[in-house]
């Protein structure tokens, strides 16, 4: 028994939502106000993976975390830059899930030919800042009081990572599906590994219990608004 990294599918929407919905409802980490539905998340996964990677970390049937990349801007000259995000289930932290996801994500992005990765972090968040800087991200600026949520204005800091040298004239980045054609994707996915070890059975139990509790809370919220 252990953890497994793979490309996400639209069928992972429920597991992704179980992680993301509490972040939206209870924190300013995400600037979304209302958690997206499973259908919306599935659509996002499908759209993202026409070009960029979206990864999940699983243990048996439980989804422990996910990470994905997206375009930094629509303007053509930005095509070598991506925005990245990683989310880990509240009951699956400190076993290396986030690190494994990012390691594999960055390996895939390098294969595709992307050069810069950017991460936005709602401040203050020492844990996220430290996590990103451990990969070599450097601070490139702060947008002051740029978002209002949960009764307060929030700053967002931006961090940048060099994925590979930016020398000379680059070729256009490869879309994600093209990596399946040359067999390079499995090796990139293997770049990430967790340190879950023998504790993984307990992690799975905690994740499943929290997901059930969250589903019950969701039902109660829906009934109270009817």
Q: Which of 17, 22, 99, 9 is nearest to 55 (CA)?
A: 9
Are β-strands 116-123 and 81-88 bridged in parallel, bridged antiparallel, or unpaired?
parallel
Instruction: Identify the pLDDT of residue 195.
Output: 66
pTM: 0.92
Beta-strand runs (E) in the chain: 3-7, 54-59, 62-71, 81-88, 116-123, 138-149, 152-162
Q: Report how far residue 109's alpha carbon sits from residue 116's, in angstroms, rounded to the nearest whole number.
A: 9
Cα 69 to chain centroid distance, Å, stands at 7
| pLDDT of residue 62 exceeding 70 | yes
Helix/strand/coil (H/E/C) assignment for every residue in 113-146: CCCEEEEEEEECCHHHHHHHHCCCCEEEEEEEEE
Residue that the structure tokens 């069928």 belong to: 11
Q: Report how far residue 66's alpha carbon sits from residue 58's, in angstroms, rounded to the nearest whole number.
A: 9
Q: Which of 170, 201, 211, 148 is nearest to 79 (CA)?
A: 170
| pLDDT of residue 170 exceeding 80 | yes
Write down the mean pLDDT value for the chain: 92
| Mean local confidence (pLDDT), 87-105 | 94
| pLDDT of residue 43 exceeding 70 | yes
| Mean local confidence (pLDDT), 179-201 | 77
At residue 218's C-alpha, the angle toward residues 201 and 220, to 5°, is: 120
Of residues 226 and 90, more confidently modeled: 90
Cβ atoms 50, 9 nearer than 8 A: no
| Mean local confidence (pLDDT), 183-201 | 77
SS3 content of the chain, % helix, strand, coil (to 5): 40, 25, 30
Which range among 53-67, 152-166, 183-197 shows the weakest confidence by mean pLDDT? 183-197
Which range among 145-149, 162-166, 191-195, 213-217 shows the weakest confidence by mean pLDDT? 191-195
Which range among 7-11, 72-76, 91-95, 99-103 shows the weakest confidence by mean pLDDT? 91-95
Of residues 187 and 124, more confidently modeled: 124
| pLDDT of residue 185 exceeding 70 | yes
Class of domain 3-114+194-224: alpha beta
């Amino acid at each position: 028994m252990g953890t497994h990294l793979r490309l996400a599918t639209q069928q992972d929407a429920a597991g992704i939502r179980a992680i993301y919905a509490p972040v939206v409802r209870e924190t300013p980490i995400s600037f979304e106000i209302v958690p997206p539905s499973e259908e919306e998340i599935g659509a996002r996964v499908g759209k993202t993976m026409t070009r960029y990677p979206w990864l999940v970390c699983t243990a048996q049937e439980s989804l422990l975390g996910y990470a994905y990349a997206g375009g930094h801007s629509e303007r053509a000259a930005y095509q070598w830059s991506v925005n990245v995000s990683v989310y880990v289930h509240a009951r699956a932290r400190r076993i290396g899930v986030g690190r494994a996801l990012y390691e594999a994500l960055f390996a895939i992005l390098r294969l595709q030919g992307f050069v810069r990765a950017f991460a936005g972090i709602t401040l203050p968040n020492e844990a996220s800042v430290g996590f990103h800087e451990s990969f070599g991200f450097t601070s490139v600026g702060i947008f002051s009081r740029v978002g209002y949520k949960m009764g307060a204005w929030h700053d967002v800091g931006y961090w940048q990572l060099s994925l590979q040298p930016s020398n000379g004239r680059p070729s256009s980045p490869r879309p994600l599906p093209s990596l399946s054609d040359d067999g390079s994707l499995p090796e990139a996915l293997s770049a990430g590994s967790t340190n879950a070890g023998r504790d993984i059975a307990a992690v799975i139990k905690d994740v499943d219990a929290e997901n059930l509790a969250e589903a019950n809370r969701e039902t109660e919220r829906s009934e109270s608004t009817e």
